[in-house]
Structure 1
Amino acid sequence: MTHDLRALRNAFGAFLTGITVVTTRNDTGDPIGFTANSFTSVSLAPPLLLVCLAKTSRNFDAVTRSTGFAVNILSEAQKDVSNTFARPVEDRFAAVSWRDGPHGSPIFSDVSAWFDCSTHQVIEAGDHVILIGRVEAFEDTGLAGLGYARGGYFSPALSGKALLAGHDMPQTLGAVAERDGEVVLQESADGMLRLPSIELDNGGEGVDALFGHLRDLCCLPVAPGLVYSIYEDTQARRQHVIYRATLGEGEIAGAKLYPVDALPLERVADRATRDVLTRYAQESSLGNFGIYVGNQEKGRVHAQVARG
């Protein structure tokens, strides 16, 4: 059977992916790289990942002959980097801050994560090859990733702002902010605990205000994450939107960290918040988070299609 290649490509493009830039050095030692969204993890033991490379790529010979390559997962602020490495720009690396990784391939600053790999295997696959790399070094920065689907970019922050702008009821924005297996909770005068949150009654830059509030509260760097829970309090007629976040290093102030696996739920008065924290503890142990959509009593958890 023969297929319309454009139609097939469009159908493949329905799958929501992240965006990476694959880098290495050519025979003369110059850095080279290209944008790719055909990336996936393969194995934890041994640590393997793969990317696909078209045989028509101008980087084909250099990449397939190299002893290693790096995969830079772009963060949501790096759309320009994606575009630069997807086009025949003369000096692509002049447009990005980078350094050599521990295994020798270029790694970028401000990415969501990077993996510096040795070449494990190159497999023929039609008009592409599959590059399997063994992870020699990596870093996860906690920054939200840049997404791509049907020829367009999306990001958690932009999606969140669109969500907030499209809703006409008062909202409470909250965050489940984690660091090293502990989450932030605020204590009220009566000793009860709650998630860090802000009230949003008149629209505006709610997402930015939320994470700004979290930074001010904790006096720590904050890496915003994905939407984690969206529910309506049907009695108060208020929508709650809760995001994930990752805290940076330093001494916390204005709140306290509590172990995810031993949360004092008896001190959380709000039932919906207890449900959020209970689900977070369960999903955190698996490393697989969803998005709850519903009301304060019942709803559905949807699989996430982008990184948090």
Structure 2
Amino acid sequence: MPDARALRDAFGAFLTGVTVVTTVDDAGAPIGFTANSFTSVSLDPPLLLVCLAKTSRNYATLTTAKGFGVNILAEDQKDVSNTFARPVEDRFAAVDWQPGPHGSPVFADVAAWFDCATHDVVDAGDHVILIGRVEGFDNSGKTGLGYARGGYFTPALAEKSLLASAESLRLGAVAVRDGEILLVEDGKGGWTLPFVDKAEGDGLEILEGHIAQTVGLTLTTGLLYSVYEDTKAGGQHVVYRGELAAGTPQSGRFFPVQSPPVDEIADSAVRDIVKRYGAESMLGNFGVYFGNQEKGRVHAVAAKG
């Protein structure tokens, strides 16, 4: 039998999002609690699940309720997470909420919310698994709040820390406009993304300035898209999505995002980025890649449809 505390700490190594699970009691009063044991289950039928400790004060209400809501907190809602994780007298006074389509409380300004009918309650040791059928949802497109090893993290904080590094860091852009992606010459007869070396103290303005100077177009930098280390050439690469303003580029060339010249992109990491962007743009759901030029993982990021 493993040590319970050690096992819990090991489970805590997994990076999760932060949610507030809600429902209403028999008197119609809202109840809610912070939870990170959430996952999607199925698209057809639309199912999700959360885990609930049998020792929870909400156990009886949640396991007999007609449904429950899941509010995925945005990265600026740590205070909401803390409020619903503590024995606060009136937790709901701290949030802007309303009944969802199926009756459970859903919050304003969250990354996404789901209002569910109870599909099943499955016994699971000292917890139960609440499986909900999604009856209504909304996706704001905001980035969610993260949690790991007992502490919060946000992509914005991680990104700020990353940009503070001055050692062999290159900034690049998936620069697009009207369904086309800008590629620039790689100096070897092929194509690549626009990159610039970042010096200590530089921020994203160095990338935007580089594109303005070399391409002659204004880039509005968007969300982080890829972070990878080139283990062969050395150096960390950080690539952002961005929108280019109107105008004719003075260098480089636009290609349709669905049919870029991948055979003419020698850099395998850049080739994968360009191919992935084409595939993801068809659905409008983009991820963030972390790894090296050969192996890594794409972390999903919500996008407003």
% same residue? 52
> Can you list the C-alpha shifts for 1:56-103, whole angstroms capped at 9, x where unaligned?
112222222211111111121112211111111111122222222222
CA contact (8 A) 1:142 1:223 kept: no
Which runs of no fewer than 5 residues in structure 1 stay unpaired?
none
CA contact (8 A) 1:233 1:240 kept: no
CA contact (8 A) 1:147 1:306 kept: no
SS of the residue 2:27 aligns to: coil
Query: TM-score, normalized by length of structure 1?
Result: 0.74
CA contact (8 A) 1:21 1:36 kept: yes
Q: Aligned pair 1:301/2:301, yes or no? A: no
Q: Name the residue aligned to 1:158.
A: 157
Shift, 1:30, TM fit: 1.6
Moved segments of 4+, more than 6 Å = 193-199, 255-259, 285-288
Structure-to-structure mapping, 1:249-288, within 5 angstroms: 254=246, 260=257, 262-265=258-261, 273-282=270-279
CA distance in 2, matches of 1:255, 1:187: 15
Structure-to-structure mapping, 1:196-207, within 5 angstroms: 200-206=198-204
CA distance in 2, matches of 1:175, 1:4: 47
Q: Name the residue aligned to 1:81.
A: 80
CA contact (8 A) 2:277 2:286 kept: no
Which runs of no fewer than 5 residues in structure 2 stay unpaired?
185-190, 212-217, 249-253
Structure ID, larger Rg: 2
Give the root-mean-square deviation of aligned CA atoms: 4.0
Query: TM-score, normalized by length of structure 2?
Result: 0.74
Change (3 A) 1:185 1:41: same
Q: Aligned pair 1:12/2:6, yes or no? A: no
SS of the residue 1:29 aligns to: coil
CA distance in 2, matches of 1:142, 1:203: 30
Which amino acid in the other structure matches residue 13 of structure 2?
A
SS of the residue 1:300 aligns to: coil
Which amino acid in the other structure matches residue 45 of structure 2?
P
CA distance in 1, matches of 2:54, 2:105: 22
Change (3 A) 1:199 1:114: farther
Change (3 A) 1:20 1:277: same
Q: Name the residue aligned to 1:48.
A: 47
Shift, 1:50, TM fit: 0.6
CA contact (8 A) 2:291 2:297 kept: no
SS of the residue 1:120 aligns to: strand
SS of the residue 2:106 aligns to: strand
Q: Name the residue aligned to 2:66.
A: 67
Which amino acid in the other structure matches residue 230 of structure 1?
Y
